Amino acid sequence: MNKRKIFDFLRDLRDNNDKAWMDEHRARYHEAKDIWLEEVALYLSRLARYDPQLEHLSPKKTIMRINNNNVFHPDKPTYKSHFGFDPYKGRNRPAFYLHISPDGCFLAGGLWHPDAESVKLLREAIDYDGEEVKKIVADPDFVAFYGGLDEDTDALKTSPKGYGKDHRHIDLLRRKNFTVLRELTQEEVTATGFVDTVEEGFVLMRPFLGYLRGALAFEA
């Protein structure tokens, strides 16, 4: 399985992003997609050891369409120049996401751009037991892999309504996004043992995702 063909295709697509080029090179697209699906099947076989609900999940259900939605975003290019993998797809669902592109690769997870109700539930949970999530993201192995929580550029500058600025968890309460991220090189992604990196990242992220799922179901 030559994963470099994926990057070669995505690089050419990025530089020739129109339907005419895609129509001419559709065979290359399907070759790259098939390689990616085969790789994704390896990820799922490993991750299912820790989450049985992934055991029978089709690889096709975890990847993204190559076409951009230009109805609501007409300024976007016709096609995405990246491939992605997320076995927990859906808004307001804590994600485990792998992104590969000639412009950069990363492994990430958590909640990104959740709706207002989800942010409210997260803040209520943090107010109740924020020490727990702080303990999770401060774990030495977690920090060594992900570096802790990712910066939230959407965070409030002031305290959210109902919480004082001197709250013991004000740094978390100001957040709107709860994500972690590890940047990857193309060499890492194309390496034979990359599935081990994905598995390690998933195992380390599970307590974080578990906390977020519990927070979304939290009742004060």
Phi, psi of 98 (to 5 degrees): -115, 130
Which pTM does this prediction carry? 0.93
DSSP 8-state secondary structure symbol assigned to residue 160: P
Tell me the pLDDT band of 44, cut-offs 50, 70 and 90: very high
Residue 72 has pLDDT above 70, yes or no: no
Helices marked H in 86-185: 116-137, 140-146, 170-173
Residue burial 187-203, b: 16+ Cβ < 10 Å; e: rest: eebbeeebeebbbebbe
Q: Which of 41-45, 52-56, 69-73, 80-84 has the lowest mean pLDDT?
A: 69-73
Please report the pLDDT score of residue 161 as a whole number: 93
Please report the pLDDT score of residue 73 as a whole number: 63
Task: Compute the average pLDDT of residues 108-126.
Answer: 95
Please report the pLDDT score of residue 77 as a whole number: 86
Distance CA 92, CA 180 (A): 16
Tell me the pLDDT band of 166, cut-offs 50, 70 and 90: very high
Residue 51 has pLDDT above 80, yes or no: yes
181-188: long-range pairs with CB below 8 Å, 24+: 181/106, 181/107, 181/108, 181/146, 181/147, 181/150, 182/106, 182/107, 182/108, 182/145, 182/146, 182/147, 183/104, 183/105, 183/106, 184/100, 184/105, 184/106, 184/107, 185/105, 186/7, 186/102, 186/105, 188/105
Query: What ranges do the domains of the chain cover?
Result: 4-216
DSSP 8-state secondary structure symbol assigned to residue 79: B
Inter-residue contact 163 to 170 (CB < 8 Å): yes
Strand pairing partners for 106?
A: 99, 183
- Which of helix, strand or coil describes residue 136? helix
Task: Compute the average pLDDT of residues 12-29.
Answer: 96
Distance CA 166, CA 173 (A): 11
Distance CA 208, CA 88 (A): 14
Of residues 119, 174, 177, the one with CA closest to residue 151: 177
